[in-house]
Amino acid sequence: MIYLDSNATTQVHPRVVDAMMPYLTGVWYNPSSGYAAGREVKAAIANAREQVAALIGASPDEIVFTGCGTESNSMVIKSLAREIGRKSSKVVVSEIEHSAVLRPTEAMAAVGFDVERVDVHEDGRLNLEQLSDAIDDSRPGFSSIMWANNETGVIQPLAEAAEIAKAAGWWVHTDAIQAVGKVPVRVDEIPVDFLSISGHKFHAPKGVGALFIRNGTPFEPMIRGGGQEGGHRSGTENVPYIVGLGEAAAIMLEEMSNGGLDRIAVLRDRLETGLGERLNRVEFNGSREHRTGNVAHVSIPGKVAAEMLPKLDAAGIQCSAGSACMTGKNQPSHVQKAMGFSDEKAFSSLRLSLSIFTTEAEVDEAINIIAETVKD
């Protein structure tokens, strides 16, 4: 099988498994226990916190471990809802956010918050003028704009967006779940107050995430209890998974410095060039310039993704139509609609997403298989 669905999830890296194993077997103690074995486990969590902080240019005490990216997003949105209050406040998100931002902000709107969604241009990038108009410095508020989109890989003008919101005195959150481990993500360069991370998008297991909370930013915990994670997320820590997330962060930092990420972009370009040569009609979607190196978002006019996918699966390629969350739902993805695609174009789109494990031979074979499958 050729796996081209790395934006849905990634294979757990063997080094991550090795790092986790001791904490599933011999070193299984509670990190809050005062004896030496407990302290050893606590030190492993501290080490993972440093590894995750290093990946995004944060300080370790700004990292909170969570159960997943969805939880990180919900924690921030709920806390900020309390912080800004319902009366006279405003919330601004983009039309292309993941459901893990859209659904919680819809829930806010349902109880009376003023929530506005800002459009993107045809290339999938945020309309900054509209954002500027939507942000109102006479009202308390927050914005939540994703760093990179999960369907297209398009990188948002987040520095500009964050600066506009900060200039209005607003809080700024970014869902960086599809950016971390794929492009440099530095909280010391972009003025965000909160940033969400999910482990399974960069070779840690599913079911572990992190939330960056800039020092000095007010935060109201969603889960209260024993005060773990600096009181921001109580509950006995998921030690093996946290250690795994730390190791994955360290691996991605290495990949960034040794050219591993550039290699993925070269393979993605090879895939697009090959498909362009072999298919009579094909369109590549989203900004060419501002995108993660691992996604090819491809429309094949006259074809229907829902029909292509089972054929591709049978022929040895695992990939998605639009986003994994939309698979099986008979409606065009909201991201493609926001980019102005016709229903026909949206339904003919495939998302092919690569990872550090994708090989050149796999890309070449994928080009052949897709070309043959689409011919029928």
Binding site for ligand PLP (CB under 6 A): 68-70, 98, 100, 146, 150, 175, 177-178, 198, 200, 209
Q: What's the CA gap between 296 and 153, in Å, rounded?
A: 8
Q: Which is nearer to ligand PLP, 207 or 221 (CB)?
A: 207
> How many C-alpha atoms does 360 have within 13 Å on its Cβ side?
3
Copy the structure tokens of residue 343: 């229903």
Q: Smallest distance, Å, CB 120 to ligand PLP?
A: 14
Q: Smallest distance, Å, CB 209 to ligand PLP?
A: 5
What is the torsional sign of CA 107, 233, 12, 158?
A: positive
Q: In terms of Cα–Cα distance, which of 28, 177, 4, 190 is closest to 97? A: 177
Judge contact between 289 and 321, C-beta under 8 A. Answer: no
Q: Smallest distance, Å, CB 103 to ligand PLP?
A: 11
Q: Smallest distance, Å, CB 42 to ligand PLP?
A: 25
Per the residue annotation, which of 12, 306, 325, 369 is the catalytic one?
A: 325
Q: Smallest distance, Å, CB 196 to ligand PLP?
A: 7
Q: Which is nearer to ligand PLP, 168 or 339 (CB)?
A: 339
Q: Which is nearer to ligand PLP, 176 or 374 (CB)?
A: 176
In 29-66, which positions are buried (b, 16+ CB within 10 angstroms) versus exposed (e)?
bebeeeeeeeeebbebbebbbbbbbebbebeeebbbbb
Q: Which is nearer to ligand PLP, 98 or 291 (CB)?
A: 98
Copy the structure tokens of residue 225: 């209890």
Read off φ and ψ for residue 114, nearest 5 degrees: -90, 105
Copy the structure tokens of residue 82: 């309390």
Q: Which is nearer to ligand PLP, 140 or 153 (CB)?
A: 153
Strand order in the sheet with 283-284: 283-284, 295-299, 349-353
Q: Smallest distance, Å, CB 43 to ligand PLP?
A: 26
Q: Detail the DSSP E strand segments found in 1-124.
A: 2-3, 63-66, 90-94, 115-118
Q: Which is nearer to ligand PLP, 146 or 312 (CB)?
A: 146
* Residue 230, Cβ density class (10 Å: 0-12 exposed, 13-18 middle, ≥19 buried): middle
Q: Which is nearer to ligand PLP, 76 or 91 (CB)?
A: 76
> How many C-alpha atoms does 241 have within 13 Å on its Cβ side?
16
319 is catalytic: no
Beta bridge partners of 115: 91
Residue nearest to ligand PLP (CB): 69
Read off φ and ψ for residue 129, nearest 5 degrees: -65, -45
Q: Smallest distance, Å, CB 276 to ligand PLP?
A: 27
**Which positions are annotated as active-site residues?**
325
